[in-house]
Amino acid sequence: MAIKLASKDEVIKVIARIDGSVKCDDQAYEMYLRSLNEDLLELDGAPTRFLVRKVLPYGAQKDIDAQRVKVQSTGEAFVSTQTLDEARAILVGIENPSELPEAEAIKFERDKDGYASKELIASLATAGVTDNLVNARRFAVSTSAQDELTKKK
């Protein structure tokens, strides 16, 4: 059986922990991030869904890997901009609930480099959303790889 890699166009939908429709505890939310099973969230209303690509674009992956190597080689503390850069590269859209007034909807915008705008990512980071997006993508990618290994056994 051949290895099945995630497509560069493959997108997952992520609901942020701070969404007012999410009524579960932190443990259930962590389980949701690992599985993306929305039944674990005990939703009370329609949530905002963030559209996240599973595969980082090559340039973004290269830059993030270079930052990690620098941090490891210099012994510097973890640089939080890695998470912000990764969030900019993976966020490709936002689905606001249809009943949400237009003025309250989160607007998705891109910067000239094609990634989510730095202003949007800064706002999401302040609210604690970027970690949710990055962690969900990492779990989704590792789960896909784990599933492939399990199939081969």
Task: Tell me the DSSP string of 109-143.
Answer: -B-TTSSBPHHHHHHHHHTTHHHHHHHHHHHHHHH
Q: pTM of the entire structure?
A: 0.82
Question: Per the structure block, which two tokens stand in for 39?
Answer: 């039944």
pLDDT at 5 over 70: no
pLDDT at 14 over 80: yes
Instruction: Report how far apart, in Å, the C-alpha atoms of 117 and of each of 28, 29, 34, 38, 123 are.
Output: 30, 27, 26, 27, 10
Query: Distance between CA 41 and CA 44 in Å, rounded?
Result: 9
Question: Per the structure block, which two tokens stand in for 137?
Answer: 């993508």
pLDDT at position 8 is 72
Reported as a pLDDT band with limits 50, 70 and 90, residue 83 is: confident
